[in-house]
């Protein structure tokens, strides 16, 4: 069941870019990102909050007391929420400019590399040889995608080259994810319940997104397809997906969880190439393959002893 939960979450995450592409034509990356976080962040806070309270009631009597909510952990949870809110428009900017296949794979393929680099900067632990090889492969894959681009249907870069602004958006989303991963790991290593951590992330993401509502055009919500897209992106790919992901991680090793999350870019690429009719140049296809090899090596490298427990992160 844990395997199915993480795999289902990865598939839900992977539908994000396609949902945007199939939505109304008058949307913007910022308006979609804001609505996704207002709906999804609120739903995630409520769902994860209920599960966190259930965990607390079932806590063994002889278990160590849970950590107290002091200023530092509260600030860290707020940081994850702010980064999750920033991730949304950056991610949608990348998929809007370069198509779902390229935009999603660049964001998700770069994120583990950036997360590993940030962890090294914070902890000064030297990366393993496997991690270094995976980092090199993923970096080459991203570079090939940037150079080769693709004939992405509906994207600005449809002439055969990847749009630079879209590429920066995808890389910015990856950087936001890297911060979330490292901050959440620190919180979980401090003894915080995983559902409490993601509930705090969802609540803070919704709170920082609410003030932006008056400044973005969300008139597309009046269309049935627009409302359906917003509800799916918020409840399906944030609230439900994160609850499934967090619960599933509790019963899996890090290596297994990392391998299962490769279903996210795979889902996005398949949907982009089939449902949306996106086309990739030969060089971009090579880039996707090399990037996939890097991701597989990262999953294999997660068996290292210094990463004994899985932890909840965004896709």
Task: For 24-56, write each residue's pLDDT tens digit.
Answer: 988 888 899 999 999 999 999 999 999 999 888
User: Rounded distance, CA 96 to CA 188, Å?
Assistant: 34
**Is residue 81 within 8 Å of 203, Cβ to Cβ?**
yes
User: Rounded distance, CA 302 to CA 255, Å?
Assistant: 5
**What Rg do the C-alpha atoms of the chain give, in angstroms?**
19
Helix axes 194-209, 29-57, angle to 10 degrees: 150
**Is residue 65 within 8 Å of 227, Cβ to Cβ?**
no
**Is residue 240 within 8 Å of 8, Cβ to Cβ?**
no
Residue 250, pLDDT score: 67
Number of other residues whose CB lies within 10 A of the CB of residue 60: 6
- For the chain, the maximum distance between any two Cα atoms, rounded to a whole number of angstroms, is 63
What stretches in the chain show pLDDT beneath 70? 112, 126-127, 131, 135, 142, 145-161, 249-262, 295, 298-315
User: Rounded distance, CA 40 to CA 198, Å?
Assistant: 12
Residue 168, pLDDT score: 92
Tell me the whole-structure pTM to 2 decimals: 0.77
Where b means 16+ CB within 10 Å and e means fewer, 16-45 reads: bbbbbbbbbeebbbbbbbbbbbbbbbbbbb
**Is residue 17 within 8 Å of 96, Cβ to Cβ?**
no
Residue 253, pLDDT score: 52
Residue 301, pLDDT score: 59
Residue 1, pLDDT score: 77
Residue 249, pLDDT score: 67
Residue 157, pLDDT score: 42
User: Rounded distance, CA 122 to CA 125, Å?
Assistant: 8
Tokens 């962040």 sit on residue = 41
Residue 220, pLDDT score: 94
């Amino acid at each position: 069941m844990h395997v199915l939960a993480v795999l289902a979450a990865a598939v839900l995450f992977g539908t994000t870019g396609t949902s945007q592409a199939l939505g109304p034509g008058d949307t913007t990356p910022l308006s979609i990102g804001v609505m996704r976080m207002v709906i999804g962040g609120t739903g995630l806070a409520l769902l994860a909050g209920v599960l966190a309270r259930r965990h607390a009631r079932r806590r063994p009597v002889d278990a160590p007391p849970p950590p107290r909510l002091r200023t530092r952990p509260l600030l860290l949870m707020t940081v994850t929420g702010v980064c999750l809110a920033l991730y949304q428009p950056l991610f949608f900017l990348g998929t809007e400019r370069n198509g779902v296949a390229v935009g999603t794979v660049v964001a998700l393929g770069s994120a583990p590399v950036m997360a590993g680099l940030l962890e090294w900067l914070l902890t000064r632990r030297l990366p393993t040889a496997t991690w270094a090889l995976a980092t090199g492969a993923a970096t080459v894959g991203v570079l090939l995608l940037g150079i080769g681009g693709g004939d992405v249907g509906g994207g600005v870069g449809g002439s055969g080259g990847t749009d630079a602004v879209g590429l920066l958006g995808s890389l910015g989303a990856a950087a936001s994810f890297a911060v979330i991963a490292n901050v959440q790991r620190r919180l979980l290593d401090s003894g915080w319940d995983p559902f409490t951590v993601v509930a705090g992330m969802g609540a803070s993401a919704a709170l920082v997104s609410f003030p932006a509502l008056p400044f973005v055009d969300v008139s597309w919500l009046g269309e049935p397809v627009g409302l359906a897209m917003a509800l799916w992106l918020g409840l399906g790919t944030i609230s439900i997906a994160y609850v499934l992901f967090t619960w599933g991680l509790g019963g899996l090793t890090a290596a297994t969880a990392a391998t299962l999350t490769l279903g996210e870019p795979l889902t996005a690429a398949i949907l982009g190439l089939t449902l949306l009719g996106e086309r990739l140049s030969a060089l971009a296809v090579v880039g996707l393959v090399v990037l996939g090899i890097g991701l597989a090596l990262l999953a294999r490298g997660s068996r290292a002893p210094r990463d004994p427990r899985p932890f909840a992160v965004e896709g």
